[in-house]
Chain A
Amino acid sequence: MIQAILVFNNHGKPRLVRFYQRFPEEIQQQIVRETFHLVLKRDDNICNFLEGGSLIGGSDYKLIYRHYATLYFVFCVDSSESELGILDLIQVFVETLDKCFENVCELDLIFHMDKVHYILQEVVMGGMVLETNMNEIVAQIEAQNRLEKSEVSVLGP
């Protein structure tokens, strides 16, 4: 089960924070900060797995992250998930973002935060992997976008 999905930039500014397990507000912020510090220390050429530490549930939990240019994508998962599987899931998520936003960049994530959440909802639902098939995810998102367009055209500018 995925406990949390965090996206932050090289300066530790959160870009997407999604918890699937309940943590109090302050703890959530603390987790984001600590995860950032843990991840920041690491070179790009060492492994992508980290132990979650005491904040998120102890040794049963792992942080699996990928670093894309200015952004870190971190998934916090328990032992029932495969490390390499999640690593590729991050890749799927990012590639999907790329397809949806056409050359995604950090700004897309900032200005379309809600859309990023909708995309994520199609990939991971309630902490479980829902869909890994990129075409399927994009199709769902496009269906939603059509909805939006039609609505906008109805309501006018």
Chain B
Amino acid sequence: MSDIVEKTLTALPGLFLQNQSVGGPAGVKTSFSSRLGGLVRGITALTSKHEEEKLIQQELSNLKATVSAPTTTLRMMKECMVRLIYCEMLGYDASFGYIHAIKLAQQGNLLEKRVGYLAVSLFLHENHELLLLLVNTVVKDLQSTNLVEVCMALTIVSQIFPREMIPAVLPLIEDKLQHSKEIIRRKAVLALYKFHLIAPNQVQHIHIKFRKALCDRDVGVMAASLHIYFRMIKENSSGYKDLTGSFVTILKQVVGGKLPVDFNYHSVPAPWIQIQLLRILGLLGKDDQRTSELMYDVLDESLRRAELNHNVTYAILFECVHTVYSIYPKSELLEKAAKCIGKFVLSPKINLKYLGLKALTYVIQQDPTLALQHQMTIIECLDHPDPIIKRETLELLYRITNAQNITVIVQKMLEYLHQSKEEYIIVNLVGKIADILVLNTVDTYAPDNAWFIQTMNAVFSVGGDVMHPDIPNNFMRLLAEGFDDETEDQQLRLYAVQSYLTLLDVENVFYPQKFLQVMSWVLGEYYYLLDKDTPEEVLTKLYKLLMNDSVSSETKAWLIAAVTKLTSQAHSSNIVERLIQEFTISLDTCMRQHAFELKHLRENVELMKSLLPVDKSCEDMVVDASLSFLDGFVAEELSQGAAPYKPHHQRQEEKLSQEKVLNFEPYGLSFSSSGFTGRQSPAGISLGSDISGNSAETGMKETNSLKLEGIKKLWGKEGYLPKKEGKTGDETEALPVPQESIIMENVDQAVTKKDQCQVLTQSKEEKEKQLLASSLFVGLGSESTINLLGKADTVSHKFRRKPKVKETKSGETTSAHSMTCSYFSSSSNATYEDDYYLDALQDRGDKELNKFSLNSELLDSESLTELPSVEKLSNCKLSSSPSLFTDNNMEGFHPSQSTAPSVAPETSLASSLLEETSEHMHSELVEVCHNETISVSSYKIWKDDCLFIVWSVSNKSGLELKSANLEIAPAENFKVRQ
């Protein structure tokens, strides 16, 4: 056939000459139907691109006038569309015609409609807004009784269709799956495939119909459904294992020649269907022995039947081999497949050779010996004139690289690299070489240092700036980290330095920026290995580069960093002097900054040496991320009334929480007037809003819901304390949210729940936990103080910061067991609240001040057991309450009754009812839990519309209580009991 084309083409010039008179702009006057011809002839007759442009622009303006003229008939429009398509194909904008194309598809008769649809599918894309105008037309045509119209509609749907309009046509297309004409069914299947591609979830419900299509009596429909299955199996092979049998049967029938003769292509039965089926089987059988076993027979059959008489049988054979190597291996089949690969590789046909190499590349990991068999062919292919074959060979070699062959393979790759000019190929190949050399450093195959560095030099100079940024980074890391042998490493580095110096000596050679960056880093880091007295020589070179205009400013930053490093080794250098002068007035702010840094560093040699130590590039730098060295400064500022820093999220949380608090306020109002507020001695106030937090908490604690909410807030809060950042950050995130939901429950319920919970948690384990928890909470009041002083340690506990107070103070480790007691009262969960409310306080500075004073007191006293200080603590708790309330309008939550009174010197369990509380209705004192040394009891107080739970812990042994942890079980354990 190509002969014929050739013949025609030789006749072409003559043809054009004849028609010249009609062609070109003159042709406009000819009848509409031959206008395209006129246009084409006109264009062909032109010699320059410029003329063509002029002609087409003119044509387009003519067309524009025509299509928008009201007198233009649809028939004329059809002709215009064809010309528009032609202009668009040549790359000219014909967007004015898009809307007319849609109109034509809408209004035209069959033929016009066909042109309209074609134009639409060529002009528009899926997201084009005009496409929506087409939806109605498509719906109408899908319902048409005319087969041709339905076909056209299905075709356009499978080419372009707006995703969001799929539901409008989906049922219609589903119906078409039952259509009596097979061509309609087939197109419908492909249209649904298109939907599967662009909106898989919209066609999920019709997967069953795909199965029907697979079993369709018409082969064409079945073949179309294979597209869908190939795609779906590729996405999820496990979901379709049950279909393996069907596919195998179909393939058997196809291979056995059971299909209509129509489907034969060069007497090969339905080759494309075979290819598709083989691919599907390959996907299904992958790593699955049972499924694979089903297909061994048919694969064997396929391999046998494929008599090599035509191109397309090779296509089938290739797929067969691919499948055999993809599925669970069977040695017999593998043997046959290997033989087939041989046929490909040894074939004189270049296409087959290419595929043979491709197959080898694929199977090489499973069967390296196969490469050995064909090594001579592979070597030949390396020098093949076709670059594609060469590349495929290199790809193959890349897969079999080992310590013995690396030099040769890399050399071959470099040769190819030097020849190729396409960026895409260079990037790809450079990546591979670097991969062999650098990336798998664990067992690098590089034979020696010199070779390694030289190869990398070649890679850097060729790959230059297009290579993947990982490559230079990995290379530098490799140099810095080295291998096992230290002297070897030093030699490698030394060699690198030497080779770079030599490279920089060469005049008038331009290296890629990335290479220069690597060089400057290496020279800066390892120049000292040369053992020269002064780095004057290298400084000169770097200076020259810095002065070079073709060097990018990023590279200059690398260069000046190298200069800085070198300067620390030899500080008196004219060049450095000159360089500083030059760059302190540079317009590039970055360079100026570097130059100033260098200048100042030079003035302080000691600092410079410690800042830029020799050969320390891979030692971890200790960075005080918490900035603890600023603690003193912060503390001072705070004490002078500065507001403490709060991270953004905390500020927001706080705001939110405050809003919530306000929402639930009603209960609280009555509390604000609780008898306690009035009683505090004014002296206490000085001590602390810090502690007032505690009392606030205690108040909070009563309302279980609030308390829980508070927990969360508290942790959020904590982050702002300089020392705790890291930990508390985690904590905040880990907090369960559900507690929020409880908030709404009424107070009584909440309390009951809690009460119950305590009873429920009597088990030993729980007891221990509670002990721990109470020990945690003992130090609560003063704990934050310590943080501010920067002393808090980071012992991890369930509730992070609570326990530390005591620990740090008394210098002893805390644990539930070591808790040797004394006496304290704890206010359960409420304590969680404390920081939260502290934060809510407006008078920050005041608070901090108080903390400090408090802390010093605590430090003075050996432990909390010393009553005076405890007294003070309790006092201040009580006293601070009023201020807290007034500041925040949160009275409702701060029944200031608190547990503080229980700190008072009651030493016996029996007397542990508090004075204040006894004024109100209260329950019996119940012992919650106890052991030999300690006992915890609780009682409830009803006051106004609130309920408090007071816990007292008493020490039965005479020993000193060092610390206590209190842990409250999570909210789930609480049960509501009316």
> Which of B193, B272, B391: most chain A Cβ within 10 A?
B272
The answer to whether A106 and B111 touch (CB under 8 A), given A18-B122, A46-B386, A88-B312, is no
Q: For chain B residues 829-886, which have a beta carbon within 8 Å of chain A?
A: none
Minimum C-beta distance from B524 to chain A (A): 35
Query: Of all chain B residues, which has the CB nearest A136?
Result: B262
The answer to whether A80 and B318 touch (CB under 8 A), given A106-B9, A125-B159, A126-B159, is no
Q: Does B346 contact A (CB under 8 A)?
A: no
Which A residues are CB-close (under 8 A) to B125? 22
Binary flags per residue of A44-84, CB closer than 8 Å to B gives 1, else 0: 01111111011000110000000011110000000010111
Q: Does B715 contact A (CB under 8 A)?
A: no
Within 8 Å by CB of A133, from B15, B82, B262, B275, lies B262
Binary flags per residue of B116-160, CB closer than 8 Å to A gives 1, else 0: 001000100111000000000000000000001000000100110
Minimum C-beta distance from B94 to chain A (A): 10
Q: Does B719 contact A (CB under 8 A)?
A: no
Which A residues are CB-close (under 8 A) to B6? 69-70
Minimum C-beta distance from B543 to chain A (A): 38
Query: Of all chain B residues, which has the CB nearest A154?
Result: B109
Q: How far is the CA of A2 from the CA of B9 in the complex (A)?
A: 29
Q: Does B644 contact A (CB under 8 A)?
A: no
Contact A82 B234 (CB under 8 A): no
Contact B12 A22 (CB under 8 A): no
Contact A147 B110 (CB under 8 A): yes
Q: How far is the CA of A69 from the CA of B3 in the complex (A)?
A: 7
Within 8 Å by CB of B186, from A42, A103, A130, lies A130
Q: Does B85 contact A (CB under 8 A)?
A: yes
Which B residues are CB-close (under 8 A) to A117? 118, 122
Among the listed stretches B422-430, B659-667, B677-685, B954-962, which one makes contact with chain A, having 4 or more residues with CB under 8 Å of it? Answer: B422-430
Q: Does B230 contact A (CB under 8 A)?
A: yes
Q: How far is the CA of A88 from the CA of B15 in the complex (A)?
A: 32
> Which of B191, B234, B311: most chain A Cβ within 10 A?
B311
The answer to whether A132 and B111 touch (CB under 8 A), given A48-B351, A107-B12, is no
Which B residues are CB-close (under 8 A) to A133? 220, 262-263
Q: Does A142 contact B (CB under 8 A)?
A: no
Contact A47 B350 (CB under 8 A): yes
Q: How far is the CA of A41 from the CA of B311 in the complex (A)?
A: 24
Contact B5 A104 (CB under 8 A): yes
Query: Of all chain B residues, which has the CB nearest A117?
Result: B118
Interface size bracket, B side: 35 or more
Query: Of all chain B residues, which has the CB nearest A98?
Result: B1
Contact B9 A140 (CB under 8 A): no
Minimum C-beta distance from B641 to chain A (A): 61
The answer to whether A114 and B272 touch (CB under 8 A), given A106-B9, A107-B12, is no
Contact B91 A25 (CB under 8 A): yes
The answer to whether A25 and B40 touch (CB under 8 A), given A106-B5, A113-B82, A121-B155, is no
Binary flags per residue of B307-326, CB closer than 8 Å to A gives 1, else 0: 00001101100110000000
Q: How far is the CA of A75 from the CA of B389 in the complex (A)?
A: 19
Contact B110 A47 (CB under 8 A): no
Contact A111 B37 (CB under 8 A): yes
Contact B275 A82 (CB under 8 A): yes
Contact A47 B386 (CB under 8 A): yes
Which A residues are CB-close (under 8 A) to B319? 82
Q: Does B592 contact A (CB under 8 A)?
A: no
Q: How far is the CA of A42 from the CA of B86 in the complex (A)?
A: 28
> Which of A50, A58, A85: most chain B Cβ within 10 A?
A85
Which B residues are CB-close (under 8 A) to A111? 36-37, 40
Minimum C-beta distance from A74 to chain B (A): 14
Q: How far is the CA of A89 from the CA of B311 in the complex (A)?
A: 11
Minimum C-beta distance from A88 to chain B (A): 5
Q: How far is the CA of A59 from the CA of B424 in the complex (A)?
A: 9
Q: How far is the CA of A70 from the CA of B425 in the complex (A)?
A: 29
Which A residues are CB-close (under 8 A) to B93? 25
Minimum C-beta distance from A55 to chain B (A): 9
Q: Does B271 contact A (CB under 8 A)?
A: yes
Q: Does B187 contact A (CB under 8 A)?
A: yes
Contact B109 A151 (CB under 8 A): yes
Q: Does A105 contact B (CB under 8 A)?
A: yes
Q: How far is the CA of A16 from the CA of B118 in the complex (A)?
A: 13
Which B residues are CB-close (under 8 A) to A25? 91, 93
Q: Does B909 contact A (CB under 8 A)?
A: no
Q: How far is the CA of A45 from the CA of B125 in the complex (A)?
A: 38
Minimum C-beta distance from A114 to chain B (A): 5
Within 8 Å by CB of A135, from B90, B262, B353, lies B262
Q: Does A94 contact B (CB under 8 A)?
A: yes
Q: Does B224 contact A (CB under 8 A)?
A: yes
Binary flags per residue of A109-135, CB closer than 8 Å to B gives 1, else 0: 011011001100100011011111101
Q: How far is the CA of A21 from the CA of B7 in the complex (A)?
A: 35
Q: For chain B residues 157-212, which have a beta carbon within 8 Å of chain A?
A: 158-159, 183, 186-187, 190-191, 193-194
Within 8 Å by CB of B351, from A87, A130, A132, A143, lies A87
Contact B15 A128 (CB under 8 A): no
Q: Does B114 contact A (CB under 8 A)?
A: yes
Q: How far is the CA of A103 from the CA of B183 in the complex (A)?
A: 27
Q: Does A100 contact B (CB under 8 A)?
A: no
Which A residues are CB-close (under 8 A) to B428? 59
Contact A128 B40 (CB under 8 A): no
Query: Of all chain B residues, which has the CB nearest A48?
Result: B351
Extra A-B contacts (13), CB below 8 Å, given A114-B85, A118-B114, A132-B271: A25-B91, A43-B385, A46-B388, A51-B391, A54-B424, A80-B230, A82-B319, A84-B315, A110-B40, A128-B158, A128-B227, A130-B190, A144-B114
A residues lining the B interface (CB < 8 Å): 14, 16-18, 20, 22, 25, 28-29, 42-43, 45-51, 53-54, 58-59, 68-71, 80, 82-85, 87-89, 92, 94-95, 98, 103-107, 110-111, 113-114, 117-118, 121, 125-126, 128-133, 135-136, 140, 143-144, 147-148, 151, 155
13 contacts between A and B (CB under 8 A): A45-B350, A47-B350, A49-B354, A68-B5, A80-B279, A85-B312, A95-B1, A104-B5, A105-B7, A114-B115, A125-B155, A144-B148, A155-B75
Question: Lowest 5 CB-CB distances: which A-B pairs, in order?
Answer: A105-B8, A84-B315, A126-B158, A69-B5, A46-B386
